[in-house]
Amino acid sequence: MRLNNIVNVRSFLCLGPALLTAACALGPLTARPLEGAAGTAVATPAFSFADDTFAFANDIRARHPDADDLYANYCFVLARALRQFNQFARFEPTQAKLDRAGYVEVVRRVAALPVWGAVLRPEDRVVIPGYASLREFSRAEETAVKEGLGGRFWTLMHWTNWRVASYVTPAHQENVAREVLDELRAGRLVQLLVTNWPKPELNHTLVAFEARDTGAQIDFGVWDPNDPAAPGVLSFQREPRAFWATRLYDTEPGAIRVFRMYFSRLL
């Protein structure tokens, strides 16, 4: 999702929670040095970019001003759903395929599970019959998947989205980088809110699935809902302890602010 009038409305509606919870964006004021060494790499083992991502994209409305039925401003829905399929779904290609209504229902079951919940055991997961992967499934059953994932309203109006307008300290951003690394080492995907507001370009979400330490910086491999074709790169620079849009779709390289998303009931 790119910045548009929705951001102004969202900022107004979320002003109250922002004032009450500003410490979430500002702190901590100090942080221990970020551990790592040049050449060190970490990746989520149960994730394949080629297989475990959606085949269709979240459209950018500004790039299609005359189009009517766009699947636009669904980036939060898709990023959250990517994690939900990773944590709660199991694909069984040898089982008989369902009709469209059947697939809508199983997608709804996956999307209804809280993304901050524990990863389910294989035997407890929602079964997606007839397909081997999310990529294959979402390519063949695109309309059913989109319907099953539901609307975008509550993701656009989520109370934590006020953070796009907040100031952050270098220590806070270093702590975010550390938490992302910890989650990846634990085998979990990490959803991120990324912004370069007040520049009217980026108000978006990504999913980190791997990281490589180059010494001067840590490069995070990310899945971008706007770009299903190839991974992007989001970097954390040890000096000046800040994130950089190294290779993000339709975004000029430059400094950005990064926050974690949907990792608890509140955040």
CA 145 to mean position of chain CA atoms? 18
Q: What is the pLDDT of residues 85-140, one digit of tens each?
A: 999 999 999 999 999 999 999 999 999 999 999 999 999 999 999 999 999 999 99
With 0.95 as the threshold, say if the pTM is over it. Answer: no
Average confidence (pLDDT) over 152-167: 69
* Cα pseudo-dihedral 120, 24, 237, 33, rounded to 10: -90
**Domain boundaries defined on the chain:** 5-44+159-260, 69-155
Buried b / exposed e along 167-180 (16+ C-beta atoms within 10 A): ebbebbbbbbbbeb
